[in-house]
Amino acid sequence: MPRKPLPGVASDNYSIHSLSKKVLITGAGGQDGYFLVKLLLQRGDTVHGLLREGSENEIGSLKYLGEAALARISIHRGNITEKWFIDELIQRELFDQVFHLAAQSSVAHSIEHPRATIDTNVLGLTNIATSIRDRSPKTKLLFTGSSEMFGNLTDGKQSEHTPRHPQSPYGLTKDFGFQLINAYRNHYGLWAATAILFNHESEFRGEQFVTKKIIQSVARIADGRDEVLSLGNIYAERDWGYAGDYMEGVLDVMALKRPDDFVFATGQLHSVKDFVNLAFKHAGIKPEWNGEGLDEIARDRSSGKVIVKIDERFYRPGDIKGTCGDASKAKQVLAWQAHTDLNGIIEHMLRHEQGLATN
Ligand code: GDR
Tens-digit pLDDT profile for residues 128-182:
999 999 999 999 999 999 999 999 988 889 999 999 999 999 999 999 999 999 9
- 305 vs 54: CA distance, rounded Å: 43
Angle (CA) 46 49 50, round 5°:
145
151-166 in b/e form (b: 16+ CB < 10 A) is bebeeebbbbebebeb
How crowded is residue 11: how many other Cβ atoms within 10 Å of its Cβ?
Answer: 10
User: Phi first, then psi: what are they for 314, rounded to 5°?
Assistant: -95, 0
Ligand 1 — pocket residues by CB below 6 A?
105, 107-108, 146-148, 198-199, 208-211, 213, 231-233, 236, 238, 272, 314, 316, 319
Max Cα distance, the chain (Å): 64
Examine the residue annotation and report whether 188 is marked as an active-site residue of this protein. Answer: no
Closest atom of ligand 1 relative to the 198 alpha carbon: 38
pLDDT tens, 297-332? 999 999 999 999 999 999 999 999 999 999 999 999
CA dihedral sign of residues 144, 336, 31, 342: positive
Q: Does the annotation mark 88 as catalytic?
A: no
Tell me the average pLDDT of the chain. Answer: 94
Query: What is each CA distance from 282 to 231, 272, 278, in whole angstroms?
Result: 19, 15, 6
CATH 3.40.50.10860 fits 22-203+241-267+324-340, yes or no: no
The pTM of the full predicted model, rounded to 2 decimals, is 0.94
Query: Between β-strands 306-310 and 297-300, what pairing exists: parallel, antiparallel or unpaired?
Result: antiparallel
- Running along the chain, 359 residues long, what does each successive block of 10 average in pLDDT? 44 60 97 98 97 84 95 96 98 98 98 97 98 98 98 91 96 98 98 98 97 98 95 98 98 98 98 98 97 97 96 95 97 97 97 79
Which member of 34, 53, 64, 148 is catalytic?
Answer: 148
* β-sheet bridge partners, residue 262: 195
Answer yes or no: are the C-beta atoms of 94 and 131 closer than 8 Å.
no
- Which residue's CA lies nearest to atom 16 of ligand 1? 210
Question: Which region, left, alpha or beta, applies to residue 152 given φ > 0 means left and ψ of -120 to 50 means alpha?
Answer: beta
